[in-house]
Structure 1
Amino acid sequence: MPKRRLSARQIERIKTIQERRRERLATRPERALAETDAEVEPEEGRVVVRHGANLAVENAEGRVVHCLCRQNIGHPVCGDRVVWQRTANGQGVVTAILPRASELSRPDYSGRPKPLAANLTRLVVLVAPEPEPSGYLVDQYLVAAEIIGVEAILVGNKMDLLSGEARGAFEARFAHYPTIGYPTYWISLREPGSVATLSEALAGETSVLVGQSGVGKSSLVKALLPDREVQIGRLSEATGLGRHTTSAATCYRLRGGGSLIDSPGVRSFRLGDISRDALERGFRELRPYLGKCRFNDCRHDHEPDCAVRRAVDEGLIAAERLANFQHLLG
């Protein structure tokens, strides 16, 4: 059956209704603040859930409060430190976003960076025997970590799928990463001790897991958060978000201290446009050789007297890393 076409009047009426809804949503925080006792002092907190216009903010005592966000202060994301004010109904309004120590973002449909999480200290890059790992994708994640100034670690998940020589060969493919300073962990959910070792490495950090689809990110999140359902219940009860809590960007507490941010947006994370200088900084092992090539604009490709290619020939830089640099340089 063909779809019924809307008349111009119907289209205009729908637009009017949508605009009214947007206006009501925009004025909700202002109305809530207007009803608040003027003597209520602003507080600092951290955004632990973000779902549309609804925020769950954790205060200094660990209590979670359902907040709305004031207009024209920007777009808070999970992990943001914010200033908020308690309202008459026992909820709150976020009135300011504090400066971010770090920000993980990905390009939106127009190519502009869209923040996914804030104030991270650790980026956990997952690979697995299945699906076939992409070193090119791994290097994009590591470049992103270098640019935003957070530590990165590499985690090989599902290692129970391999044994003997096959496992040794798989680990050898990534042997150059610990050499250049990226800690590497080989784990399996069937080996609780390996997961415990990773959990210890994340203690005290604010981490996010990234990796291509199928590497077991969701299962690993559950293993790292055995009380995840309890935390979800606590957040749902405090905010009234209910089932949305499981589908929204959420900051969970880790058993050993620290936090793990689980964000749906990370599933489609990709590196946006970056400058050549930023890209060179993103490959940490290139740094000692930058500025030592014959040509200032050396692309480290086929130019003579290239210090970077000389380092590759001497085994000081992995050839595949340079190839990925060239690919990203375009």
Structure 2
Amino acid sequence: MPRGRIIKALSGFYYVENEDGIFQCRGRGNFRKRKLTPLVGDWVEFEAANKTDGYVLEMEDRLNELVRPPIANVEQAILVFSVESPSFNPVLLDRFLVHIEANNISPVICLSKIDLLSGEDSSLIEKYEEDYKKLGYEVLKTSIYIEETLNQLKPYLSGKVSVFAGQSGVGKSSLLNALKPELNIETNEISKSLGRGKHTTRHVELIPLEEGGYVADTPGFSSLDFQNIETEELSQFFPEMLERINDCKFRACTHINEPSCAVKQAYKDGLIASHRYEHYAQFLDEIKNQKRRY
């Protein structure tokens, strides 16, 4: 039975790619009864009489799965955050990083629109860049108008399935257009009244690159909840906290009010960036409030 990967899902059709080409398929009828929904990125078994009339029959086990964007088997996340227009948003970046860490996906932080950077803002961005690099994160600075910045991104995409994600208006689609001009993905300018971009991407699709990998341009969004993360798990998704958890006095330490907390001490000693600890405390409080509402 043929095997392939879903590279696009649109209007009830799944577009499955293998060495013989791309096949337009519908989902098997019993998927709904089994509460299964094929996602872009899924490896599936299918049958097709021709390229436009096929059926997805079985789905293979997933390495991971993201809800927003709805995609499976992602190896790498390119988190695109503009330095200006809209302004850099470290709270949202840390929110994304928590979710990426929780799904065991390798993140690459991509600071876009660096051609707009100047003065004090430049020093602030450099400080954030230094903080994230110290944690072991890959940080790239890009501009669609500076070719060498695009060239430094290409090796990261080679041979991998990557998802491009980030706040609306940060230039994800423009960046993909610059990497592969024939895509001609629709882009919109930032809304002056709202200070954020319009949602220009309507569906998730894996796009093949000359470097041998795939990228997914995903619908923009400005918030992520923590419904699938427990309070005691959150610190595991902050690398600088994870390495110190075993040194805390209490096993279920939340690193807020407990005595002899190695994480709090590291924060006080300046070994954990203040914005990272503050965002952790904010996310922890959010998770606690979510649990109370249920």
TM bracket (short chain): 0.7 to 0.9
Whole-angstrom distance in 2 between the partners of 1:51 and 1:286:
41
Q: Deviations over 1:193-248 (max 9, x none)?
A: 10111122111111111111221111112112223259xxxxxxxxxxxxxxx843
Number of the residue aligned with 1:9? none
Q: Is the alpha carbon distance of 1:89 and 1:119 closer, same or farther for their aligned partners in structure 2, counting shifts above 3 Å?
A: closer
Q: Residue 45 of structure 1 aligns to which amino acid in structure 2?
A: G
Deviation at 1:164, TM superposition (A): 5.4
For the residue of structure 1 that corresponds to 2:129, the secondary structure is coil
Superposed counterparts of 1:140-219, under 5 Å: 140-163=95-118, 166-219=121-174
User: 2-side partners of 1:212 and 1:182: how far apart?
Assistant: 19
For residue 120 of structure 1, what is the amino acid of its counterpart?
V
Contact 1:44/1:60 (8 A) holds in 2: no
Say whether the 8 Å CA contact 1:147–1:278 is kept in structure 2.
no
Number of residue pairs matched? 264
Distance 2:43 2:279 in 1: 35
What SS is found at the alignment partner of 2:159?
coil
| Further displaced range: 143-152 or 172-181 | 172-181
Answering whether residue 7 of structure 2 is matched by residue 45 of structure 1, we say no
| Aligned 8 A contact 2:167 2:221 in 1 | yes
Q: Compute the TM-score of the two structures, normalised by the length of structure 1.
A: 0.75
* RMSD (Å) for aligned C-alpha atoms: 2.1
Q: Kindly tell me: are residues 201 and 90 of structure 1, through their superposed partners in 2, closer, same or farther at Cα, counting changes over 3 Å?
A: closer
Query: What is residue 291 of structure 1 aligned with on the other side?
Result: 246
Residue 63 of structure 2 is matched in structure 1 by: 101
Q: Which runs of 5 or more residues in structure 1 are unaligned? A: 1-41, 107-114, 231-245
Residue aligning to 2:40: 78
Cα offset for 1:90? 5.7
Task: Kindly provide the CA deviation profile for residues 78-107 of structure 1, in whole angstroms up to 9, marking residues without a partner as x.
Answer: 11111101236862100011111111114x
Structure 1 residues 146 and 267, CA gap change in structure 2 (3 angstroms) = same
- Give yes or no for contact 2:66–2:72 (8 Å, CA) kept in 1: yes
Provide the residue aligned with 1:57 in structure 2: 16
3-state DSSP class of the match of 1:87? strand
The change in CA–CA distance for 1:268 and 1:315 in structure 2 (over 3 A counts) is: closer
Q: Which residue of 1 aligns with 2:189?
A: none
Tell whether the 8 Å contact from 1:141 to 1:271 is kept in structure 2 after alignment: no
**Structure 2 counterparts to residues 234-273 of structure 1, below 5 A:** 247-264=202-219, 266-267=220-221, 270-273=224-227
Give, in whole Å, the separation in 2 of the partners of 1:257 and 1:83.
23
2:67 partner letter: S
Matched residue type, 1:116:
P
Q: Supply the AA of the counterpart residue of 2:26.
A: L
Q: Is the 8 A contact 2:79 2:164 kept in 1?
A: yes
Pair 169,82 (structure 1): closer, same or farther in 2 beyond 3 Å: same
| TM-score normalised per structure 2 | 0.83
**What percentage of aligned pairs have identical amino acids?**
32
Helix, strand or coil for the counterpart of 2:177?
Answer: helix
Question: How far apart are the structure 1 equivalents of 2:147 and 2:176?
Answer: 14
1:112 aligns with none
Computing the radius of gyration from Cα coordinates, the structure with the larger value is: 1
Distance 1:100 1:270 in 2: 22
